[in-house]
Every structure is written in structure tokens, then in C-alpha cells.
Structure 1
Amino acid sequence: MRVSVFGATGGIGRHVARQLLDEGHHVAALVRTPAKLTITDTDLTVITGALSDRAAVEQAVTGADAVVSALGPSLKRSATGTPLTDGTHVIVAAMREQKVARFIGLATPSLADPRDKPHWKHKVLPVMARLMFPNALAELAGMTEAVTGSDLDYTIARITNPTDKPATGHVRSGFLGHDKVGSAMTREDIAAFLVSQLTDTRYRRAMPAISN
């Protein structure tokens, strides 16, 4: 399978790219700084460009069977603007143009899925995020809306507390108020969940919460 990866130099994205390659997929990664992508593989195509570069984004998704976005906003309180929201709109437009339907990405439980029941995370996490990371929450909301408001076949995994601990191989997933989903999850396990959604049909056009 040919998979386009956005955010391949990030903490989760580098695991996504590596796991895809280990499974025998071809990866096309759009990166701003190729030197930060330490992976080398004959099945890896590196495209240099920013999310605002429509031609580069379209090149990255051309011929793809799916897109995996491991993009996440800056957690700096000084961060401003909506580069990831705008960039996600560019990705969605390129996918439509190239007739690529499958999108797999990330969000936060601060944003609800219609299948959720009332849960403390819906009340507490948005308040904390607005106080600590107001621009990041706005970016996550904008990125999510760009995808869920489209006709794409999406799965957006909602994560709370990613860690750099070793992978456990244990994943809980589901909807708040229904399923026992915690908060902490290793970045390797998050990546494994995203990769698994290439063939797992349980969460089509849904936003499951995931944890270890």
C-alpha cells in the first residue's frame, strides 16, 4: 500500500513512518526539513515542502491509498495563527483532487464524538486547554473540522497524554462514557493504532479515544 505521511519528523510521526515501512508499505513523507527525518529506506519517498505549498502536498498524496497525519499543534502559549488548520484544508483539497478517500489522524478528547456519552473529560479538558494551550486547542478544533466536515473516509484518534515510554502493545479504544479508555499512551502505541486503521474498519468516520 502507498501511504502519504504528514508530520513524519514528529514524536509520533517518526514511529508511523518506521512502522509502515517495516510492514512493507511505501511511504511518501512531506517534510519541511529532510535532515530531521533520520529514516532511510528504498520504499521511502521524501518530498520537501510546507503544508502551505499546495503543489508539494498534492505531490505527496498523488497515487496514495491513504493519508496518515501525525500533525499536532505547538503547545507554546506564545503560538499564534492557524498553520495546521490551514494546512489540513490543503491536504483535504489535495486528497479530493487526487481521489484519495482514506484519512487517519489525531485529535483530543476535548473534542466530542457524537457516540460519546457525557464524560468529565468533555468538561475538564477543554477548560484546561483554553487556560494552558488556547491556540493549540483552536488548531486541533480547526484541523478536525476540516476533515469531519468533508466527505473523506476518516478515522481520527483522540489522545490525551502521549509518552515516550517503550511500547506496551496494549491499546484501549472506544467512546467516552461507553468504553474504559484511560489517558496515558506511548507514542509508539499511538503510531501502531494509526497504522492499524489502514485495514481496521471499526472506526470509519469516527473519532475513537485511545489509551494504553
Structure 2
Amino acid sequence: MRITVFGATGGIGRVVVQQLLGDGHEVTALVRSPAKLAFTHHQLTSFTGQLSDRDAVEQVVTGADAVISALGPSLKRSATGTPVTDGTRIIVQAMETQKVARFIGLATPSLADPRDTPHWKHRALPVMAALMFPNALAELKGMTEAVTSSGLDYTIARITNPTDKPATGRIRSGFLGHAQVGSAMSRADIAAFLVSQLTDPRYRRAMPAISN
């Protein structure tokens, strides 16, 4: 498959790209600094550009079978503005224009899925996030709304505490109040879940929470 990856130079994004290439997919990435990918591959094409560049975004989306977004907001308390929300809107618009339907991305359990039932995370996490990372929470809400309000065939994985521990291969997924989903999860296992959603139909137009 031909997969476009956004956020390819981040901690999760780099592993997503590596796993896609290992599975034999063709990968296209839009990055601000190609050197940050730290590797090359004959199946990997990188373009230099910004999320705010509509032409660049449409260029990398054109011809793709799916888009995987490992984008996330800055957790700096000094961060302002909504660059990732705005960029996600541009990605969605480019996908709709180019008739690329499948979107796989990330969010947080601070945001609910309609299939959730009442859970402590619905109460505690939004309060904690609003106090500690108010701009990041606003960005995550905006990013998610841009995707879920569209006609895209999306899966948005909600993560709480990504770690740099080795992959375990043990992935829990489901909806809060139903599945026994924890909080911590290695970035390698998060990436594996995102890649698996290219062929797994269970969470189409859904936002499962995932953990180790």
C-alpha cells in the first residue's frame, strides 16, 4: 500500500515509518527537516514542507491509499496558537479533494467516544490536562473535531502515557467502561497499533483507547 505519514520525525512517527517499510509499504512523508528521519529507504519518499502549506500537503496525499498521522500538540505551557489543529484541517481537506478516505491518528482519553460508558478518566483527565496543558488540550480537541466531523473513514487511537520502553506485542484496545485498558504504552506498540489499522476493520469511525 501507499501510505502518507505526518509527524514522521516524532517519537511515534519514526517508528510508524520503520514498521510500514518493514511490512513492504511505500511511504511518503512531509517533514520540516528530512535529516530528522535519520534513515533512508528505497520505499521512502520525503518532502520538505510545513503543515500550513496546502499545496505541499495535497502533493503528499495524492495517490495514497491511507494517511497515518502521528501529529500531536506541543506540551510546553508557553505554547500558543493552533498550528496542529489548522494543519489537520488542511490534511482533511486535501484527503477529501484527492478522495483518500482512510485516516488513522492519535488523540487522548480526555476526549470521549460515543461508545464509552462513564469512567474516571472522563472526569479526571480533562481537568488535569486543562490545568497542566491547556493549549495542548485545545489543540487535541480541534484536531479530533476536524477529523470526526468529516466524511473520512477514520480510526483515532486514544493514548495516555507513551513510553520509550521496548515493544511488548501486548496491546489492549477498546472503549472506556467496557475494556480493561490501562494508561502506559510503549511508542513501538502504539505505532504497531496504528499500522495494524490499515487492515483491521474493528474500529472504523471510532476512537478506541489503547494501552499495553
TM-score range, shorter chain: over 0.9
TM-score by length of 1: 1.00
Cα distance in 2 for partners of 1:83, 1:4 equals: 19
8 A Cα contact 1:154 1:205, kept in partner: yes
Counterpart of 1:49, as a letter, is: G
Residue 33 of structure 1 is matched in structure 2 by 33
Counterpart of 2:2, as a letter, is: R
SS of 2:11 mapped into structure 1: coil
- The count of corresponding residues between Structure 1 and Structure 2 is 212
SS of 1:12 mapped into structure 2: helix
Residue 22 of structure 1 is matched in structure 2 by 22
Residue 175 of structure 1 is matched in structure 2 by 175
1:57 and 2:57 are equivalent in the alignment: yes
Cα distance in 2 for partners of 1:119, 1:56 equals: 41
Cα distance in 1 for partners of 2:103, 2:144 equals: 11
SS of 1:167 mapped into structure 2: coil
Residue 156 of structure 1 is matched in structure 2 by 156
SS of 1:106 mapped into structure 2: strand
What does residue range 102-117 of structure 1 map to in structure 2 within 5 Å?
A: 102-117=102-117
What do the CA deviations read for 1:156-177 (whole angstroms, capped 9, x no partner)? 0000000000000000000000
Residue 4 of structure 1 is matched in structure 2 by 4
SS of 2:162 mapped into structure 1: strand
TM-score by length of 2: 1.00
- Give the CA deviation at 1:139: 0.2
- Give the CA deviation at 1:39: 2.0
What stretches of structure 1 move > 6 A for 4+ residues in a row?
Answer: none
Cα distance in 1 for partners of 2:38, 2:58 equals: 23
SS of 2:139 mapped into structure 1: helix
Unaligned runs of at least 5 residues, structure 2 = none
SS of 2:86 mapped into structure 1: helix
8 A Cα contact 1:21 1:44, kept in partner: yes
Residue 208 of structure 1 is matched in structure 2 by 208
8 A Cα contact 1:18 1:39, kept in partner: no
Residue 166 of structure 1 is matched in structure 2 by 166
Cα distance in 2 for partners of 1:54, 1:191 equals: 26
Cα distance in 2 for partners of 1:175, 1:100 equals: 27
Percent identity between matched residues is 81
Cα distance in 1 for partners of 2:134, 2:180 equals: 28
Cα distance in 2 for partners of 1:178, 1:107 equals: 19
What do the CA deviations read for 1:30-59 (whole angstroms, capped 9, x no partner)? 001111111210000101100000111001
Unaligned runs of at least 5 residues, structure 1 = none
Cα distance in 1 for partners of 2:119, 2:182 equals: 12
Cα distance in 1 for partners of 2:88, 2:33 equals: 19
What does residue range 131-150 of structure 1 map to in structure 2 within 5 Å?
A: 131-150=131-150
SS of 1:90 mapped into structure 2: helix
